[in-house]
Amino acid sequence: MFRHLAAVWTARHFLLALVKLDLRLRYRRSVLGVGWSLLHPVAMTAVFTVVFSQLFGDGNPVGYAAYALSGLAVWAFLRDSATIGSKAFAQNESYIRQSPMPYTIYTLRSVLGHLIHACLALCVVAVLVAVWKGDPLALLGVPLALPGLILAVLAAWAVATIGAFVNAFFHDTSHLLEVVAQIGFFLTPIMYRRNLLDDRGLSWLVDINPAHLFMSVIRDPLLAGAPTADSLGALGAALVPVAALTAALLALAAGVVAWLHKKVIFHL
């Protein structure tokens, strides 16, 4: 496994060049350029804010917008990493067929690409929060969200890798993941707040939702404003299960890689 990671490290120039290319090509020759990747979540957020901020929010549209945009950004990252990442082997088949690079760089290519889009949206969130709270100290939430984000990237890489290997054997996997993602969007507190479910005795739905675990350790510190001892303690406590879940996913991905890395090329 360490040999595999060392090979990924050796391939870093190749990987980063391709990530950069993906970013540039996605909105090439469009007027807004990379702004398109922001436009989608921002437009969604605007609609949500107009329609739902009275229903789900606490009456403050800027606060609700920051809540919805951060949720959408993290959700889109997790969803795209899983669904598009699991098609990575098919998309990079020509590289796979001529070079013995570790296959996990192709899922990482997809995950890192989506990460950049998520980070752009999260920057907008940070600005919204600073405006909303009227306190530049609220920006201190940004570094506090980083551990959660890093764990989310590792977990997304693991899920994309597992998905990609399974997808090579069963092509239905990526379709299945899309259906799961569609359902997950409504089961995860993205546009509504979790207390809406808690009040109706449905908090278990959120507790068993892995996407919500990652979302809360990224979104909560961003939205909390200037950190206090209490909020730091709560964040630390919330990070423990997230780290455990990430470790479990990485272990599973490592197992899948060890098991299938030498078999998958015969099934592409």
Partner 1 sequence: MAKIELNDLSVTFSAHQQKRVSLKEYLVRGLFRRSANPVLKVHALSGINLSARDGDRIGVIGHNGAGKTTLLKALAGVYPPTHGTREVEGKICSLFDITLGFEQEASGWENILYRAYLQGETPTSIRAKIDGIAAFSELGDFLNIAVRNYSAGMLMRLAFSIATAVEPEVLLVDEVLAVGDLAFQRKAQARMRELMGASRLMVIVAHDLQTIRDMCTHVVWMAHGRILKQGDPNEVVDEYIEAVTGTKPEPRLVAA
Select the residue interacting with partner 1 from 2, 3, 59, 98 (CB under 8 A): 98
161 vs 21, 29, 190, CA distance in Å?
21, 31, 25
Amino acid identity for residue 59 in this structure: G
- The structure tokens 């959700």 sit at 75
Token match 């090579």: residue? 168
Cα 10-15-20 angle, rounded to 5 deg: 145
* Total residues in contact with partner 1, by rule CB under 8 A: 29
Which CB sits closer to partner 1, 28 or 200? 28
| 191, 66 Cβ separation under 8 angstroms | no
Q: Does the protein bind partner 1 through residue 23 (CB under 8 A)?
A: no
Specify the residue, 200 or 262, whose C-beta has the smaller distance to partner 1.
262
173/188 with CB nearer partner 1:
173
DSSP conformational letter for 208: T
Q: Which of 5, 21, 39, 183 binds partner 1 (CB under 8 A)?
A: 21
Side-chain half-sphere of 94: how many Cα atoms within 13 Å?
A: 1
Residue 101 touches partner 1, criterion: CB under 8 A:
yes
172 binds partner 1 per the rule CB under 8 A: yes
Those residues with Cβ within 8 angstroms of residue 220's Cβ, 6 or more apart along the chain or in another chain? 231, 234, 235, 238
The binder of partner 1 chosen from 25, 31, 229, 237 (CB under 8 A)? 25
Residues 85 and 163: beta-carbon distance below 8 Å: yes
Please identify, among the stretches 39-47, 49-57, 88-96, 231-239, the one whose residues bind partner 1 according to the rule CB under 8 A.
88-96
* Amino acid identity, position 112: L
Q: Min. distance of Cβ 9 from partner 1 in angstroms?
A: 12
* Nearest distance, CB of residue 266 and partner 1, angstroms: 5
Radius of gyration over every alpha carbon of the chain, rounded to an integer in angstroms: 19
Closest approach, Cβ 81 to partner 1, in A, equals 21
Nearer Cβ to partner 1, position 19 or 151?
19
Residue 3 interacting with partner 1 (CB under 8 A): no
36 is a contact residue toward partner 1 (CB under 8 A): no
Per-residue binder mask for partner 1 (CB under 8 A), 108-147, x = binder = ----------------------------------------
CA distance 107 to 85: 5
> Tokens for 123?
């920057």
Chain residues binding partner 1 by CB under 8 A are 10-11, 13-14, 17-18, 21, 25, 28, 94-101, 169-173, 176, 261-263, 265-267
